[in-house]
Structure 1
Amino acid sequence: MIEHYIELLPIALVGILAGIVSFFNEESQEQAQHRSSLKVALKSLLTSSFLCVIVYAVLSATDLPYLARVGISAAIGFFGVEKAISLAKELLAFKNGRSKGDTQ
């Protein structure tokens, strides 16, 4: 039982790192913020870490390799759910040879 929780620690760390990078990326785009920077940073860290752990836990039900699960969960933790899904759609469309404006 404890092994499963220990397995999630590196995923939480990846989520925290994704949150830090995401926070600094957003902060550089939006210099003027009205709220406290510490609150926004903490929110970004916790949200990214939570998303990474949840997505990794869901993906552990599949037979994907470990690094694929970690990569997918880190991408969702960094970009957010909506942006990660739109990027995945664009990558699949690019792989299938369709451009962004093409419809099925």
Structure 2
Amino acid sequence: MNLRVGQTLCSAVDGTAVIVVRCPRQDVTLTCGGREMSPQDSAPTSRAAALTGAPANGALIGKRYATEDGALEVLCVRPGEYPLEADGTALAVKAPRPLPASD
């Protein structure tokens, strides 16, 4: 899928929704629970069964998830039960940057 910055994607298996913060130039398949995420306006009305076993390590609201190289970054706006993956590789929670000391 050709992702765009600012695009909202919804999961087909649970309530997860993310906003694309950074995306690579090439196409990336973003999945949740083994099913491809779809743009918000075309999200399915009924939730289908997940392809990848039991729920574990779902997306947390307000957290940023990124690939190892940082080419893809998404912000979770609705939490869910299943993990996020890009092209079959799990996305990791991005650590927050520390604020500078104010002395």
Would the TM-score normalized by the shorter structure come out above 0.5?
no
Q: Which of these two proteins has the greater Rg computed from alpha carbons?
A: 1
Structure 1 or 2: larger strand share? Answer: 2
